[in-house]
C-alpha cells in the first residue's frame, strides 16, 4: 500500500512538472490547483498507509484468536483419572475441564460384577450417551487436548462419546490418557478413531499412578 501511495505521488509530481515546463506562462491558479492535487494525493496516500496499518492490527488480533492453547478434559468416576489429569494440566500449563455426568455414578452404578449395573448397561449399548451436566463449549477453542477417562470393559466410558458428539474438536490434536485395573488404552484409542474418523486422535497412554517425571517424559515425547 505504501508503494502505491508513493507511486501516485510521483506520477502527480511528474505530471505537474511537465505541465509547468510546457506552459511556464500559465496562470498561478493552475499551479495552485496542482499543489492542491498533490496535497490531496499525499493525504490519501497517508490514509492508505494508516488503513494498511489497521489491517495489520486486525491480522495480529486474528492470529491471537487461533494461538496454541492446551486443555486437559477428563471424566473420572472415582478420582483416579482426575488425579492424573491435574498433573498433566500442571505439566503442560493447560486449562483443566471435567466432564461431569448429569446423573452422578453411585457405587451401585459402578458395581461391574453386577450385569445389570448402570455402567455395564451403558457399555453394552453402543447408542448409550449419558448426559453431561456442564457446558464444555470452551474446549472447542483449544489446539491441543489431552482427553482422559477410566477404562470400562476394555474401552472408554460412553460419556466420552457424548462429549465428542456434542463438541467440534476437528481442529485440535487429541491425546488420550487413562487409568485402569490393568487393561491397556489401545482398544479405546482404536474404537474412538473408528467412531470419529474426522478427529485427530493421535496416540494415548495408560498412566496409572504415574509420577511427575513419567508424565513429563510422556508429554515431552509428544512434541519430539
Binding-site ranges for ligand FMN (CB under 6 A): 76-82, 110, 112, 119-120, 150-154, 179-183
Q: What are residue 147's DSSP bridge partners? A: 73, 176
Q: Nearest residue to ligand FMN, using CB? A: 150
Of the pair 77, 199, the CB lying nearest ligand FMN is at: 77
Q: Whole-angstrom Cα distance, residue 105 to residue 107? A: 7
Q: Which residue is it, cell 494440566?
A: 89
Q: At closest approach, how far in Å is the CB of 121 from ligand FMN?
A: 10
Q: At closest approach, how far in Å is the CB of 77 from ligand FMN?
A: 4
Q: At closest approach, how far in Å is the CB of 147 from ligand FMN?
A: 13
Q: At closest approach, how far in Å is the CB of 72 from ligand FMN?
A: 13
Of the pair 87, 119, the CB lying nearest ligand FMN is at: 119
Q: Whole-angstrom Cα distance, residue 98 to residue 75? A: 6
Q: Which residues of 54-93 are buried (b: 16+ CB within 10 A; e: fewer)?
A: eeeeeeeeeeeeeeebbbbbbbbbeebbbebbebbbebbe
Q: At closest approach, how far in Å is the CB of 112 from ligand FMN?
A: 4
Of the pair 82, 147, the CB lying nearest ligand FMN is at: 82
Q: Are 147 and 174 in contact (CB under 8 A)?
A: yes
Q: At closest approach, how far in Å is the CB of 60 from ligand FMN?
A: 41
Q: Which residue is it, cell 489491517?
A: 55
Of the pair 21, 79, the CB lying nearest ligand FMN is at: 79
Q: Are 73 and 148 in contact (CB under 8 A)?
A: yes
Of the pair 85, 139, the CB lying nearest ligand FMN is at: 85
Of the pair 105, 218, the CB lying nearest ligand FMN is at: 105
The one-character DSSP state at 104 is: P
Which residue spans within 60-129 are E strands per DSSP? 70-74, 95-98
Q: Whole-angstrom Cα distance, residue 110 to residue 105? A: 7
Amino acid at each position: 500500500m505504501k508503494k502505491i501511495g508513493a507511486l501516485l505521488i510521483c506520477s502527480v509530481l511528474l505530471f505537474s512538472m511537465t505541465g509547468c515546463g510546457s506552459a511556464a506562462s500559465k496562470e498561478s491558479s493552475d499551479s495552485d490547483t496542482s499543489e492542491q492535487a498533490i496535497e490531496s494525493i499525499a493525504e490519501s496516500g497517508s490514509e492508505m498507509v494508516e488503513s494498511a496499518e489497521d489491517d495489520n492490527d486486525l491480522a495480529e488480533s486474528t492470529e491471537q484468536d487461533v494461538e496454541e492453547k492446551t486443555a486437559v478434559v477428563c471424566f473420572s468416576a472415582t478420582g483416579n483419572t482426575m488425579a492424573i489429569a491435574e498433573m498433566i494440566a500442571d505439566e503442560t500449563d493447560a486449562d483443566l475441564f471435567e466432564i461431569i455426568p448429569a446423573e452422578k455414578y453411585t457405587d451401585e452404578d459402578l458395581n461391574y460384577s453386577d450385569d445389570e449395573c448402570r455402567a455395564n448397561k451403558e457399555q453394552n449399548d453402543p447408542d448409550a450417551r449419558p448426559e453431561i451436566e456442564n457446558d464444555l463449549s470452551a474446549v472447542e477453542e483449544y489446539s491441543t487436548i489431552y482427553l482422559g477417562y477410566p477404562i470400562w470393559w476394555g474401552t472408554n466410558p460412553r460419556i466420552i462419546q457424548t462429549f465428542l458428539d456434542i463438541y467440534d474438536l476437528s481442529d485440535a490434536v487429541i491425546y488420550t490418557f487413562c487409568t485402569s485395573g490393568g487393561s491397556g488404552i489401545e482398544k479405546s484409542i482404536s474404537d474412538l478413531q473408528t467412531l470419529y474418523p474426522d478427529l485427530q486422535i493421535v496416540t494415548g497412554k495408560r498412566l496409572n499412578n504415574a509420577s511427575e517425571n513419567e508424565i513429563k517424559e510422556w508429554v515431552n515425547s509428544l512434541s519430539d
